[in-house]
Structure 1
Amino acid sequence: MRFTDTLAAVVLAFGLLLPGCASGSGSWVELKGERFAVEIADDDQERAQGLMFREHLGDGRGMLFIHEREEPRSYWMKNTRIPLDILYFDGERRLVAQQREVPPCPDGTACPSYPSRAPARYVLELDAGEALRMELRNGERITFGPDIARP
């Protein structure tokens, strides 16, 4: 095999591997064997901003909210333009409550809140319909990727 043939084979191999590496980078969570790329909201400012003013979330994407303490939570959809599933997890990363198909509240007024009804430390927001599609039940466990800080 000539050097140019070898070089071409190496370049092709890296070209085939790079898309897999790129999709595997960044923060992720797994739920019922499905992986979601997530943005992390782990301080007051990021949690307050959440998914406000977004036009779409994207397939296989979500936002993970990390709180310092496990306690009853309540989220609302102020200035949110996309319907979401809001999934509440306790400190052991077990699903303790679900608010499915939560409608947007794009004008930011008279937005109802959606409580956890159980103490939660982590909240995962996904596109509306994901919880139904995956047939999520309370008690399911979420797995965090290695870059998500553990308490």
Structure 2
Amino acid sequence: MTLSVQRIGSTLRRAGIAMAVLLAAAPLAACSDEGKLVLHSATGDYNFNVEVVDTPESRAQGLMYRQELADDTGMLFDFKGEQPVSFWMRNTFIPLDMIFVDAKGVVKNIHVNARPHDPTGIPSDGPVQFVLEIPGGRSVEIGLKPGDTMEHDRVGAPAAN
């Protein structure tokens, strides 16, 4: 009888430890990875590692003063709702492609190779929620066109205030 009580106790302890591990890991599994983004074009699916900026301060800073940007990286600006936006390249040292995207993830327009230090405004062609900045010329390399789509955890998600 003692042996079976010990066996049951040991089994319960192992089950308890396993449950604790699962419960601790559950919130991590539920968390999304906002640093990942996919652009879908006629030539394929292209993964990017992105930095998400969604406050007035972080959007104002953007990619200013950066000296380089790898081919598979970028910055995703989230305006938390659709609106007309305009960007410039003041204090930006590298050419960038600006991809203007609506709340559903549809690419509305693309500005290719924005010139470093140019203070001229680069507007969206209508309301957008997102602007993705990637290295200059990269959108041409991957064949991205208006009407293509962007996949990211924030696309289609309710706007957080």
The TM-score range, normalised by the shorter chain, is 0.7 to 0.9
Aligned to 1:45: 57
The runs of at least 4 consecutive aligned structure 1 residues that moved more than 3 Å come to none
Name the CA distance, whole Å, in 2 between partners of 1:42 and 1:58.
Answer: 22
- Residue 125, structure 1, aligned to residue 133, structure 2: yes
Aligned to 1:114: 122
Deviations 1:40-60 (A, max 9, x none): 111111000000100001121
Structure 1 residues 139 and 26, CA gap change in structure 2 (3 angstroms): closer
Name the CA distance, whole Å, in 2 between partners of 1:85 and 1:59.
Answer: 11
- Residue 95, structure 1, aligned to residue 107, structure 2: yes
Write 1 or 2 for the structure with the bigger share of strand.
Answer: 1
Counterpart of 2:66, as a letter, is: R
In the alignment, is the contact (CA less than 8 A) between 2:71 and 2:138 conserved in 1?
Answer: no
TM-score (norm 1): 0.75
Match of 2:67 among 34, 37, 55: 55
Counterpart of 2:148, as a letter, is: E
Please state how far the C-alpha of 1:36 moved relative to its aligned partner.
0.1
Deviations 1:45-89 (A, max 9, x none): 100000010000112100000002201111111100000000000
Unaligned runs of at least 5 residues, structure 1: 1-24
In the alignment, is the contact (CA less than 8 A) between 1:41 and 1:47 conserved in 2?
Answer: yes
Equivalenced residues, count: 121
Structure number with larger C-alpha Rg? 2
Counterpart of 1:128, as a letter, is: G
Deviations 1:5-27 (A, max 9, x none): xxxxxxxxxxxxxxxxxxxx761
Match of 1:140 among 139, 143, 148: 148
Match of 1:66 among 70, 78, 87: 78
TM-score (norm 2): 0.71
Structure 1 residues 26 and 142, CA gap change in structure 2 (3 angstroms): closer
Seq. identity, %? 34
In the alignment, is the contact (CA less than 8 A) between 1:97 and 1:118 conserved in 2?
Answer: no
Counterpart of 1:84, as a letter, is: L
Aligned-residue CA RMSD (Å): 1.5
Name the CA distance, whole Å, in 2 between partners of 1:112 and 1:135.
Answer: 26
Name the CA distance, whole Å, in 1 between partners of 2:81 and 2:128.
Answer: 8
